[in-house]
Chain A
Amino acid sequence: MSYRLKPFVLFIFIGILFISFPWSNTQRTVKAFSDQVIQQGAEGDDVIELQARLQYLGFYNGKIDGVFGWGTYWALRNFQYEFGLDVDGLAGAGTKQKLVKASQYDKQFVKEQIRKGNDFNYYGGMDNNQQTSENEDDQDTASSSTTASVNVPQGYSQNDITLMANAVHGEARGEPYVGKVAVAAVILNRVESSTFPNTISGVIFEPRAFTAVSDGQIWLTPDESARKAALDAINGWDPTGNALYYFNPETATSSWIWSRPQIKKIGKHIFCK
């Protein structure tokens, strides 16, 4: 009895495999976009699809990088205008439906190109393989990120953020998160101030300005929270209330620093004007 059942069960099992596999595949290619309304500043797979489809139709000439920037914004608005939709720069349900109808999206090709870091285009009516040039130094193709660009605050580069994260980590590791944002905010307040250098690197490397720089601790690898703190400060958060100096009352050696008007204490540091 049990012997006879086994092949039967196996048969059903294989059958399910055969049925479910192609089905889930077609599902993936037919169902485009997720439900979200895509707006400027977004990043991720939906943005990649949006850019690819807009490029397929010839509206978008920029890089397909998965970050919804100004270029994508204008392309989307032009598309909405040409197709008689509300011109609002938002990819909502109606817009996405029109896009899917009008264009094709070879997800595998596009994702592959991004993963390899290739320079490529995705215009409709052209052979895909003619629109890509292989990245020469692609020994290391296992990049973890799915987008080829990242959002950065206006006027800053990722490197500026890294440099700040280094300084924040060296100066304020072990402090609560807000204490890290505070140190980053002081660096930026100094850049703004007319009595300090005008660049982030100028402020950080000003001789004897930060102990972590003088003793080399700035070159410790910053953790994720230092990086987030730097980004928060750049985006406008200043928990110090516009401070230009801070010191640790337990280790401060200069009596001058005590004469500065104090604003508040965060963690171990006292922040002052």
Chain B
Amino acid sequence: MMLEVQDLKKYFPVRGGVMMRVIGHVKAVDGVSISIEKGEVFGLVGESGSGKTTLGRTVLKLTEPTGGRIIFDGRDITDLSGKELIPLRREMQIVFQDPYKALHPRKRVKDIIGEPLIIHEGASDTEVRRRVAEMLKLVGLNVEHMDRYPHEFSGGQRQRIVIARALILRPKFMVLDEPTSALDVSVQAKILNLLSDLKEQFDLTFLLISHNLAVVQHMSNRIGVMYLGKLMEAAPSQELFENPLHPYTKALISAIPIPDPKLAKKKRKMTLRGEIPSPLHPPSGCRFHTRCPFAKEICEREEPPLREVEPGHWVACHFWDELREVGVLNA
């Protein structure tokens, strides 16, 4: 087990009033449990306010959890802080969403990619040059690019630099936070392929976060669907697509534009009504009930627990069984 997250909570205090006292909490992640096996790609899907990005950050201890436990490679890292976290950074890394913002504009590529070497190994300049050159080749960039600045590169190239920096210390686990959302379709394909290759080459484990279900299902072994801080459904990738049980998942799948007009016509429309509620005031009971086309009275009262209803397939819905027949892709 590479990563085990138990009932993780991350609340952000909201301050207001003249005295700036705490008047409430944004419950960005509100009791999520996930486990990721070694070598697996776990995809996490959700929209705004789902908490998926916060989860990714919290798992890496880039932000302190409010509750729950994080077990990384057998070690409980929940309470580690400050200096204790530094050696951990060798083993867990992150690829950010916006390659245009994730690189320091005043540093050369060599210094950006090589910095982890200096921090963790006190590497000499020659050593840094050698290892950075190696990394550049691995991610498909020219060695000469080492002395250039980020603004001289395209989006796809910058993302490669971000990946090179994340991998230079050969971590075991990587959080990929929307790694291709800011990129063109053709570039996205290359970066996703690169990530797949590197995963094989370095025996990595990924937590892939994205709002794009098509990207997630393509790369993931298992997928978790989040909504307003909670996990709604989790299942193996293929299974989730062919047999989604939670109404929200069905709606998400229905919303993906299909690049095949004939198939698109066969798709069952499941357009949700209403806006995504604010994480400051999540709905009572099942958080999804305000937008769910099938919501009944119990959904407002009682929050459905996340249960394993079929082998490996978890869902949090009172009526998952009754709604089984409501298909999406093969309506």
A and B interact physically: no
Chain A residues proximal to chain B, CB less than 8 Å:
none
